[in-house]
């Protein structure tokens, strides 16, 4: 049996439903909120210049976890072995990332669709998404731990509160995605570059022997002064584990605008 409402209640209920529908429609029609976080990026949304997206993509090297991982490599495997491993991994990343970046920017698709289009099917794309998601969760958990510790050391904020702050602050980025990240990177990147250069300048100014000491560092136990294949392999395995980071670059590259004929390369890339 249907419930019969008085006319006034029915009108009020209709008005409430209408307001909710309008609010919902206004929410879902805002492209900046949905932000094409998955799959293909629509042409109408790809309106940023290439230099701005390149600046945003550079945010992938600003993670504090990268400095921590690099320091750990030098401490555990020595300067020589860790440097050789980083150079070798860089060549692997370039060889792997070039075709992925090219097709992601050409067809404006994420790593999921790119994997499926490469012939690995639905299972392959699902597995790729699982690896990428797991990597991202672990990576940002490490980053949040570093930030929480920095808040404790710098501002005296308890570690538990620091974890909450470091987690909650990314929620707006999740909602507004590339739209907000572009602005954030545009305004904060110069400060990051300035502070990074200032840090090394300060160290070298106060201890000119720091650079030679770093280059001759043989690890914590002093046994990594020479090139050792096992130590090199251990360091290489750590660096290569960062390869899923390519998936994040794909997330930026798929927002590149459609290339116009006047910006084509002389060789004529399609």
Question: How far apart are the C-alpha atoms of 152 and 270, rounded to whole Å?
Answer: 51
pTM for this structure? 0.71
Q: Which two tokens stand for residue 37?
A: 């976080």
Query: What residues contact 103, with CB distance under 8 A and at least 6 apart?
Result: 109, 114, 117
pLDDT tens digits, residue range 106-144? Answer: 887 777 777 777 777 778 778 887 887 787 788 778 888
What is the H or E stretch that residue 215 is in?
A: helix 210-215
**Tokens 């987690």 belong to which residue?**
167
* Cα 184 → chain centroid: 13
Q: Which of 33-37, 76-80, 102-106 has the lowest mean pLDDT?
A: 33-37
**C-alpha atoms less than 13 angstroms from C-alpha of 195 in its C-beta half-sphere:** 6
How far is 217 from 225, CA to CA, in rounded Å? 7
pLDDT exceeds cutoff 70 at 27: no
Task: Grade residue 254 by pLDDT with cuts at 50, 70 and 90.
Answer: confident
- On the question of pLDDT at 88 being above 90, the answer is yes
Find, among 101, 119, 77, 149, the residue nearest to 269 by Cα: 101
Q: HSE on the CB side for 106, CA within 13 Å?
A: 11
3 pLDDT above the threshold of 70: no
Q: Which residue has the tokens 């927002």?
A: 255
Q: What is the mean pLDDT of the chain?
A: 77
SS3 74: helix
Four-residue CA torsion sign, 64, 69, 72, 77: negative
Q: What is the pLDDT of residues 145-192, one digit of tens each?
A: 888 888 888 888 888 888 888 888 877 777 777 777 778 888 888 888
The arithmetic mean of pLDDT across residues 202-231, rounded, is: 81
With 0-12 CB in 10 A as exposed, 13-18 as middle and 19+ as buried, what is 202? exposed
**Two structure tokens written together for 97:** 């990332």
Residue-level pLDDT at 266: 47
DSSP count for the chain of H helices, then E strands:
11, 0
With 0-12 / 13-18 / 19 or more C-beta atoms within 10 angstroms meaning exposed / middle / buried, residue 132 is buried
pLDDT of 5: 47
């Amino acid at each position: 049996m249907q419930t019969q409402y008085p006319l006034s209640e029915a009108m009020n209920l209709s008005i409430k439903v209408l307001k909710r529908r309008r609010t919902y429609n206004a929410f879902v029609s805002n492209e900046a909120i949905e932000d094409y976080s998955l799959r293909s990026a629509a042409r109408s949304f790809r309106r940023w210049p290439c230099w701005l997206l390149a600046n945003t993509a550079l945010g992938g090297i600003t993670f504090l976890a990268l400095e921590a991982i690099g320091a750990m490599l030098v401490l555990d495997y020595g300067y020589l072995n860790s440097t050789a491993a980083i150079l070798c991994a860089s060549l692997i990343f370039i060889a792997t990332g070039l075709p992925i970046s090219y097709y992601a920017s050409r067809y404006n698709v994420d790593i999921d669709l790119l994997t499926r289009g490469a012939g690995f099917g639905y299972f392959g794309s699902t597995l790729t998404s699982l690896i990428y998601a797991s990597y991202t969760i672990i990576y940002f958990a490490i980053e949040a731990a570093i930030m929480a510790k920095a808040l404790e050391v710098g501002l005296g904020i308890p570690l538990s509160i620091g974890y909450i702050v470091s987690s909650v602050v990314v929620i707006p980025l999740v909602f507004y995605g590339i739209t907000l990240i572009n602005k954030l990177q545009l305004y904060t990147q110069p400060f990051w570059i300035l502070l990074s250069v200032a840090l090394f300048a300060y160290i070298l100014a106060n201890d000119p022997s720091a650079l030679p000491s770093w280059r001759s560092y043989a690890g914590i136990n002093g046994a990594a002064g020479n090139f050792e294949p096992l130590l090199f392999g251990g360091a290489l395995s750590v660096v290569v584990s960062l390869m899923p980071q390519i998936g994040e670059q794909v997330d930026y590259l798929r927002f590149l605008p459609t290339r116009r004929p006047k910006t084509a390369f002389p060789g004529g890339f399609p």
